[in-house]
Amino acid sequence: PLLVGGKDMIYPRMNNLSYWLSPNALYLLMLSFMTDKGVGAGWTLYPPLSSYPYHSGPSMDVMIVALHLAGASSLVGAINFASTNKNMP
């Protein structure tokens, strides 16, 4: 916001939401490694390796929720940056 002449972001609560979704996503990511046998799908999360016969524990589900939270945090932050850039004079 300083580069476009503003004091703060347009939506500070949206900025706060983006900030607090990130540690929760990291917590769930770490939890997915410690749940059951851990996520055994490799770094690509290849779908056949993450399906039920190969990986039946809840850790893959926790990993997917963590990735969705990280994506939502990034999306909310990006929307806030774009709207700040557009609405600042």
Q: How confident is the model over 32-67, as pLDDT tens digits?
A: 889 888 787 777 777 776 666 767 678 888 998 999
Confidence (pLDDT) at 89: 65
Task: Report DSSP letters for 17-64, one per residue.
Answer: HHHHHHHHHHHHHHHHHHSTT---STTTT-GGGGSTTT--STHHHHHH
Question: Using alpha carbons only, what angle is made at residue 64 by residues 51 and 23, rounded to the nearest 5 degrees?
Answer: 155
Among residues 89, 86, 81, which one has the least CA distance to residue 11?
81
Confidence (pLDDT) at 49: 66
